[in-house]
Amino acid sequence: MTTLYSIKGLDCASCGLKIEHAIKKLPGVTYAAVNFATLRLHLEAADPEGVFDEIKRIEPTVEILPLRQGSERTASDEQVFQPKRELVILAAALVLFGVHAVFEDRFHESGEPILDYGIALAAYFLAGINVYISAFRTIRKGDFFDENVLMVIATAGAIAIHALSEAVGVMIFFKAGEFLQNLAVTRSRRSIRSLLASRPDKANLQTGTGIQQVPPEQVKVGEVILVRPGEKVPLDGEVLSGQSSLDSSALTGESVPLSARMGDSLMAGMINLTASLKLRVTKPFNESSISKVLELVENASARKAPTENFITSFARWYTPVVVAAATGVAVLPPLLMTEADFKTWIYRALVVLVVSCPCALVVSIPLGYFGGIGLASRRGILVKGSNFLDALSAVKTVVFDKTGTLTRGNFEVQKVVARNGYGEQRLLELAALAEMHSGHPIAKSIVGKLAEMGLKPDSTTVSEHIDLPGRGVRAVVGGHEVLVGSDGLLHHNRIAHDVCELEGTAAHIVIDGVYAGHILIGDTLKADAKEAVSQLRKIGIERIEMLTGDNRCAAKFVAGALGVDAFHAELLPEDKVRLLEEIKLASNHGGKLAFVGDGINDAPVIALADVGVAMGALGSDAAIETADVVLMTDSPLKMVEAVKIARQTRRIVWQNIFMALSIKLIFVALGTMGMASMWEAVFADMGVSLAAVVNSTRVLREKWLS
C-alpha cells in the first residue's frame, strides 16, 4: 500500500529528483515518487524509517511528515520560503553592489584593493551565502553537478580572473531569479492547493446534551449531524429533516444548485445554501465522496507521465555533459590554438556553466501536470495520474456505452402489445412478477408501471427466478414458465416473434414457450449528447462508436439521432470486450482509444481501453476503482472538457520543454563563441525557469475552455 507523506524544507526541484532516485535504490522499497509541485512523497516500503534516515543523509534540511486525517493534513504544506527576509538580504546586497559600481574606478586609481574587494565580496557573500552552504552540502555527498555548485564554480572562477563586477552581479541576479522563481512556485502551489480546499474540517454532531462541534473523522455511521446554511456537508448522509439548496460544484464542477429534502442522499463537500438540514450519516469520513475525490487528486501526481519520466532521466545526464563540455571549452582551445589564451576561454566556459542547470524543466513540468489535474478536478473531472492525462490528450477514437451514458437511463413503459390471446394487463402482470427480483432499469420500469396502475400482483406465485445476463430473466409464475428479455433471448430459445422496427427498447415475453407479446420501453437522449458528439468531432476525434446490450432497433435510433460512425447492439459483456479489441486493432490512424461508460456494468471494457472513463460516477465506488478518468456528472460534454484540458496541459508542458532547451542551447553556443556574457547566461538560466513556471500556471485559467 502506497503511503502519502508531506515534505517540508524541499526548496530545490533537482534535490527532489535526487531523493527519489536514491530512495528507489534502497532495499525493501517497491515504489517511490517525489513531487516538487505538491511537496509530496508517495512511498511503498517495508521500512519507512530507514527511508527517512536516508533522506536525512541526502538532504539534512528536509523533514518528512505523515499525512493524517484532520488538521495536520495541511500543517506542513507551507514551503520554507520567507519572502520578506529574502527581499531584505537581496536589497542589502544590491546597495553594496551599487556602492562598489560607483566607486570602482576610484578604488583602482587610489590603489585600495582592500576596499575594492571588501565591498564587492560583502555583496557577493550576502547574496550567495545560502548558495555556498547548499554547494558545500552537495559536494560533501559526492555530487558535483548541483546548480549551487555550478554557480559557486562559475562566480569564483570569475573572481579569480578579476571579473569582479560580473561575479557579484551574476550572484545577485541568480539570487533575484531564485527569489522570483520561489515566489511563483509558492503562489502556483497555493493556487493549486485552493482547488482542494473543499475538505470539511468540522461537523455539528447531535448529542444528548445538544449540538457538539467535532472533527468529521469522529462521527460514526448512524449518528445525526446538523448542517447550517453556509456550511459544508461534512459527511455523506441522508436528509432526516429540512429542505434546502446545495452547491455541489466542488464535486461536480456544476454551478447549478441542487435541491434537497427529506429522504435525499447528500455527499460530503457540498455547501448548504439556504436552510438547516439534519442528516443521518451513512458513511465514515474516510469513505465519503469528498475524501475519495481529494485522495484521488492527491495521489494523481504519483503516476507520472512519460514526459516527466523522460525529464527525470534527462536531468541526470544533461548537467554532467554540459560540465564536461565547459571543461573542454576552458582547456582545449588554449592548448590547440596558438592565439587563444586561457583567461578568455575560461570565462567562456564559466558562461556555459551558468546556463547548464535544467531547473526550468524539473520545476515546470510536474507543476504543469498537477495544474491540469487540479483544474480538471475543479471541473468535476478526476484524472488518476499524469500518465492518463497524457493518454487522454492523444485520444482519437471514443467509444460510448448507450444506456445511462448517451441516454438518461430512466426507462418508462410506453406501450404493451399482446399476442396469441393474452390481454395487455395480464401480460404486464406476468412480466412484472418475472422481473420483481431483478435490479435492471428495464425491470424496474415494468414493475413501476404496474404500481402506477394500482395493481398489486401476488408475489407468492413466483417460485423460481433466474437472471440471464445480457438477455433477460426466466421465472416460474403460478406454474407457468415466463421469459422476459431481448430479441437475442428469443433467438437463443428459437421463439418465433414480431420483427422489431421500433424507436425504443422492446422487452419480449414468452409464456410456456409461446410468444405472448412485447412491452415497449422508452429511453430519452440526454440533452447534451448530440452536442457532445459534435464537439468531439470539432476538437479532432476521428471516430465515435457506440456499444450497447440493448436491441438493435433502439440502438439504431440513438445512433442515427447522434450521428455516430458505427454502433453495435444486443451485446453481452464479453461481446463488448471482443468488439473493443477489434475497434482498437482497426484504428489505423494511430492515437489512443477511450471508452466511456457508467463504470459499473462496463468495468471490463473500461479496464481494456487505453483510457477508461466512468461517467455520472458521483458516489460510485466501482466507478472510482475501475476507471482512469472519472466524470462526476452524467453530462457527455464533460468528455469534451477532459480532452481539452489534457491537450492544453500537454501543449504547455511541451512549450516549456522547447523553450528551456532551445534558449539554453542557444546561450551555450553564444557563450562558447564569446558572444554572451555571464549576465546574459544567468538570465538564460533563471529567466527561462521563471517563464516556464509562469507558463505552467496558465492551465489553471478556465477562459480557454469556452
- So which residues are the catalytic ones? 401
Helix-, strand-, coil-residue percentages of the chain, each rounded to 5: 50, 20, 30
CB atoms within 10 A of CB 435: 26
Which of 391, 389, 397 is closest to 580 using CA atoms?
397
Identify the three-state secondary structure at position 259.
strand
Task: Give the Cα separation of 383 and 648 in Å (integer).
Answer: 14
Contact 645, 629 (CB under 8 A): no
Which of 150, 283, 80 is closest to 686 using CA atoms?
150
Task: Give the Cα separation of 520 and 588 in Å (integer).
Answer: 39
Alpha-carbon torsion 124, 126, 131, 136, what sign? Answer: positive
Q: Which amino acid is at 365?
A: I
Output DSSP code: residue 497: -
> For every residue of 169-225, which 3-state class applies, written as one string?
HHHHHHHHHHHHHHHHHHHHHHHHHHCCCCCCCCEEEEECCEEEEECHHHCCCCCEE
Task: Give the Cα separation of 108 and 650 in Å (integer).
Answer: 54
Contact 550, 505 (CB under 8 A): yes
Task: Give the Cα separation of 133 and 173 in Å (integer).
Answer: 18
Contact 472, 490 (CB under 8 A): no
Instruction: Supply the Cα-derived Rg of the chain in whole angstroms.
Output: 33
The residue assigned the cell 502519502 is: 4
Contact 567, 369 (CB under 8 A): no
CB atoms within 10 A of CB 5: 21
Identify the three-state secondary structure at position 124.
helix
Task: Give the Cα separation of 347 and 330 in Å (integer).
Answer: 8
Which of 187, 197, 311, 309 is closest to 696 using CA atoms?
187
Q: Please calculate the CA angle 620-373-651 and round it to the nearest 5 degrees.
A: 135
Q: Who's near 648: CB < 8 A, 6+ residues apart? A: 372, 699, 704
Read off the C-alpha cell for 642: 477532459
Task: Give the Cα separation of 514 and 508 in Å (integer).
Answer: 11
Contact 695, 652 (CB under 8 A): yes
Which of 585, 614, 617, 593 is closest to 602 using CA atoms?
614
Read off the C-alpha cell for 607: 479496464
Residue 515's beta-bridge partner residues? 510
Ramachandran sector of residue 34 (left: φ over 0; alpha: ψ -120 to 50; beta: rest): beta
Which of 405, 400, 398, 389 is closest to 644 using CA atoms?
389
**Going by DSSP bridges, is the β-strand pair 611-615/592-597 parallel, antiparallel, or unpaired?**
parallel
Task: Give the Cα separation of 658 and 307 in Å (integer).
Answer: 12
